[in-house]
């Protein structure tokens, strides 16, 4: 008869139950994911946090939680960004915490921790527990995640990964429970599609998640597990693919109605590739793939901005782009060979990286940046899959040679050292994100030949009214990148602020002649020219540089019409717009401008007819059209319709102070 356990034995058994390997792993992963970012709880709103959260008043009321679903990301439809899930979270957090930034930072840390834990589960689906733990651990401390976690609005990248892994997890879990091994029922399919909708509602980079789920269902499983064919995955998961297509169509439709279209204004595309066709963009970005690879493998050096000083714009192939393509082809070929031999995991991981990076790669369409570390958050999940597979293989070799202890020692010691190294790199890189000043100063230190940090520091001082300090930084930014029209804009603005009007005019004249394709620079130059030299000088300059395409036709008509209006010649302005419309009859912007001029000339019925045409065509900003509707309604004596239209305009563009001012004037008039 066995004796009863002593109190000492019971205590030992109790501690063993508490400190199981799974619980210890859970604790370590939570600690590793949160620890480097805890200092951010003392940070404020930084960089894009201001334009997306702080400076959008509608997100500061509980009504804004609902309005988040019908507003653009920046409060300006022209940016072409619609991220309702992220916008909803910002409005919710603002109202829950009274606008305190610590709650936003806590949220960013929490979703990073949750993503790490979900990744742990996903890795364990196809690798041993040792490999799954270390794969998730290295992901938790990866320095490339700093920009996505330490900066509030960039946490939308984390949210995409979180919902994306949940979507994939639902599909994989449902397939594990099905009799055939691949068949997905309606309930998990609906849940997966809902998670997909939330992912692309957080950011557009989640668009490829169903394709990743398809590949995971096909190949993210142990090498000795049953391997379904593509056809089996397609047929067995057809409910998921169909419902995800419906979810994508729904988000795209909502985007169309909120933004007034699906395309992004060229002004918001990074200037380095703004005017590039596909081929130059392709060679530019493929030459940068080694840099992307370094950032994904282990970024020992981070940058807040990647500009033309490090990603060189190219118009033809170079040795680097050719070598990048050749290396990528070899890697894919090796992964495909392993897949043919029965281990599909490397191919799934590599394809995950490619699909996740594609939306931000500037290959499909040009985007707002050449390269950004925040956009690598979701691709780094694919890299974690590849790392976990490598650990799994190495562990198997070690176990075959010397048993489990040797395998754990041979893999665990170097991996633990790498994880500690990740913590030591990540923690200090978080600190600069505490204020704009520390961030921009760090950007200048990291990349002194990049114009962007210098420009941002100049803008920072400009916002404080310290124009001379602003000019010092903006002058340096302009010297580094004189063709950058955004730098020219801010530099000229500061010259104007200190009364250096002739210097402003000279700067804009030279910039317009060096960069004739920049509509923004030409318009700024003509405005300054009209202010300093009069409307006749504008007309003479327009005659010297005739319109050569649809874009220049628009700004020619705008500036010529404005010049005639300033000369008190409204009929000539109207004739200018009508002549431009003969060449470009489907330009919504030109119809809008003509409607505006007709309204100012008191020709209300004609203005209303042109405005109706502008409504039906693309080109004019939706909030501008609504304001015009309001002005025409007011001219007709319908103040109620005027107030309705301007209220709708403010919902679309809450940052436009002129709309708010006009709304207040309507209130006073009534």
Same domain, 657 and 511: yes
Do 382 and 350 touch, CB atoms closer than 8 A?
A: yes
- Would you say residue 391 lies in a domain? yes
Do 199 and 160 touch, CB atoms closer than 8 A?
A: yes
Q: Say what the pLDDT of residue 352 is.
A: 95
Among 86, 98, 105, CA closest to 43: 105
Same domain, 199 and 120: yes
- Would you say residue 546 lies in a domain? yes
Q: Which of 432, 448, 473 is the last residue of a domain?
A: 432
Q: Say what the pLDDT of residue 214 is.
A: 94
What's the farthest any 2 CA atoms get from each other in the chain? 112
The b/e string for 250-261 (b: 16+ C-beta within 10 A; e otherwise) is: ebeebbeebbbb
**Structural domain of residue 570, as residue ranges?**
437-669
Residue spans of beta strands (DSSP E) within 466-620? none
Residue by residue, DSSP assigns 261-289 as: SSSPPGGGS-TTTTT--HHHHHHHHHHTH
Q: Say what the pLDDT of residue 2 is.
A: 45
- Would you say residue 11 lies in a domain? no
Q: Say what the pLDDT of residue 518 is.
A: 76
The residues that bridge with 306 in the sheet, in sequence order, are 371
Same domain, 387 and 494: no
Mapped onto helix, strand or coil, the DSSP state of residue 548 is coil
Q: How far apart are CA 550 and CA 385, in angstroms?
A: 48
Q: How far apart are CA 639 and CA 645, in angstroms?
A: 10
Q: Say what the pLDDT of residue 425 is.
A: 92
Instruction: Find the helix or strand (DSSP H, E) in which 194 lies.
Output: helix 186-202
- Would you say residue 145 lies in a domain? yes
Q: Which of 382, 415, 432 is the last residue of a domain?
A: 432
What's phi and psi for 125, nearest 5 deg? -65, -30
Q: Please state the pTM of the whole predicted model.
A: 0.83
Among 305, 299, 270, CA closest to 439: 305
Q: Which of 395, 412, 432 is the last residue of a domain?
A: 432
Do 243 and 190 touch, CB atoms closer than 8 A?
A: yes
Same domain, 423 and 551: no
- Would you say residue 571 lies in a domain? yes
Cα 357 to its chain centre, rounded Å, is 12
Q: Say what the pLDDT of residue 81 is.
A: 81
Task: Give the other-Cβ count within 10 Å of 139's Cβ.
Answer: 29
Same domain, 653 and 586: yes
Task: Give the other-Cβ count within 10 Å of 502's Cβ.
Answer: 11
Same domain, 178 and 294: yes
Q: Say what the pLDDT of residue 241 is.
A: 94
Same domain, 327 and 290: yes
Q: What is the mean pLDDT of each run of 10 residues along the chain (670 residues)?
A: 48 51 88 94 92 86 86 74 90 92 95 96 92 94 94 94 95 75 86 95 92 93 80 89 94 85 68 81 91 88 87 88 93 93 92 93 84 93 95 89 85 90 92 94 91 93 91 93 87 89 88 79 82 83 73 74 80 84 82 87 89 81 86 87 86 77 71
Q: Say what the pLDDT of residue 668 is.
A: 59
Do 314 and 287 touch, CB atoms closer than 8 A?
A: yes
Q: Say what the pLDDT of residue 7 is.
A: 47
Residue for token pair 């040792």:
130
Which token pair is 106?
């806590």
Which token pair is 68?
């988040």
Q: Say what the pLDDT of residue 45 is.
A: 93
Q: What is the CATH number of the domain that holds 652?
A: 1.25.40.10
């Amino acid at each position: 008869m066995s004796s009863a356990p002593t109190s000492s034995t019971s205590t030992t058994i109790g501690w063993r139950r508490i400190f199981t390997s799974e619980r210890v792993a859970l604790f370590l992963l939570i600690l590793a994911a949160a620890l480097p970012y805890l200092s951010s709880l003392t940070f404020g709103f930084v960089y894009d946090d201001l334009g997306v959260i702080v400076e959008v008043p509608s997100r500061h009321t509980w009504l804004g939680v609902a309005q988040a679903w019908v507003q653009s990301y920046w409060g300006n439809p022209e940016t072409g960004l619609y991220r309702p899930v992220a916008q909803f979270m910002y409005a919710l957090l603002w109202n829950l915490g009274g606008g305190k930034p610590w709650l936003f930072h806590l949220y960013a840390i929490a979703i990073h921790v949750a993503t790490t834990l979900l990744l742990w589960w996903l890795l364990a689906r196809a690798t041993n527990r040792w490999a799954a733990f270390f794969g998730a651990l290295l992901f938790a401390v990866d320095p490339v995640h700093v920009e996505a976690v330490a900066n509030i609005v960039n946490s939308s990248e984390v949210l995409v990964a979180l919902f994306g892994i949940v979507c994939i997890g639902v599909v994989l879990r449902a397939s594990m429970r099905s009799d055939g091994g691949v068949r997905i029922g309606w309930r998990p399919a609906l849940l997966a599609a809902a998670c997909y909708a939330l992912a692309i509602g957080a950011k557009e980079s989640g668009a490829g998640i169903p394709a990743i789920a398809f590949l995971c269902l096909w190949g993210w499983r142990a090498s000795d597990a049953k391997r379904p064919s593509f056809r089996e995955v397609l047929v067995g998961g057809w409910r998921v693919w169909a419902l995800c297509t419906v979810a994508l169509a729904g988000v795209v439709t909502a985007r169309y109605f909120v933004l007034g279209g699906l395309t992004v204004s060229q002004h918001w595309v990074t200037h380095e590739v703004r005017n590039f066709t596909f081929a130059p963009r392709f060679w530019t970005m493929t030459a940068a793939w080694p840099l992307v690879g370094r950032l994904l493998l282990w970024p020992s050096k981070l940058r807040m901005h990647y500009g033309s000083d490090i990603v060189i714009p190219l118009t033809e192939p170079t040795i680097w782009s050719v070598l990048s393509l050749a290396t990528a082809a070899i890697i894919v070929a090796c992964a495909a060979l392993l897949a043919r031999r029965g281990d599909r995991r490397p191919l799934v991981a590599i394809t995950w990286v490619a699909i996740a990076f594609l939306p931000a790669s500037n290959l499909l369409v040009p985007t707002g940046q050449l390269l950004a570390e925040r956009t690598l958050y979701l691709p780094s999940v694919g890299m974690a899959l590849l790392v976990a597979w490598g650990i799994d293989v190495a562990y198997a070799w070690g176990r075959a040679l010397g048993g489990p202890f040797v395998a754990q020692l041979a893999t665990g010691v170097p991996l633990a050292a790498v994880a500690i190294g990740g913590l030591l790199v990540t923690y200090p890189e978080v600190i600069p994100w505490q204020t704009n000043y520390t961030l921009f100063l760090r950007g200048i230190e990291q990349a002194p030949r990049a114009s962007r940090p210098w420009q941002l520091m100049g803008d920072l001082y400009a916002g404080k009214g310290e124009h001379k300090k602003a000019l010092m930084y903006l002058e340096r930014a302009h010297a580094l990148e004189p063709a950058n029209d955004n730098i020219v804009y801010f530099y000229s603005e500061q010259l104007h602020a200190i009364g250096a009007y002739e210097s402003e005019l000279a700067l804009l004249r030279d910039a317009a002649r060096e960069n004739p394709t920049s509509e923004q620079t030409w318009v700024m130059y003509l405005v300054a020219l009209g202010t300093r030299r009069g409307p006749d000088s504008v007309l003479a300059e327009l005659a010297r540089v005739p319109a050569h395409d649809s874009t220049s036709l628009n700004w020619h008509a705008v500036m010529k019409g404005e010049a005639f209006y300033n000369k008190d010649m409204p009929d000539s302005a109207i004739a200018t717009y009508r002549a431009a419309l003969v060449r470009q009859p489907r330009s919504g912007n030109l119809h809008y401008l003509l409607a505006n001029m007709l309204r100012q000339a008191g020709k209300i019925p004609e203005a209303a007819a042109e405005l109706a045409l502008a409504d039906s065509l693309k080109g004019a900003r939706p909030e501008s059209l609504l304001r015009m509707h309001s002005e025409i309604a007011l001219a007709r004596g319908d103040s109620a319709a005027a107030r309705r239209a301007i209220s709708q305009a403010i919902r679309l563009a809450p940052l436009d102070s002129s709309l708010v001012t006009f709304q207040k004037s309507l209130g006073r008039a009534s």
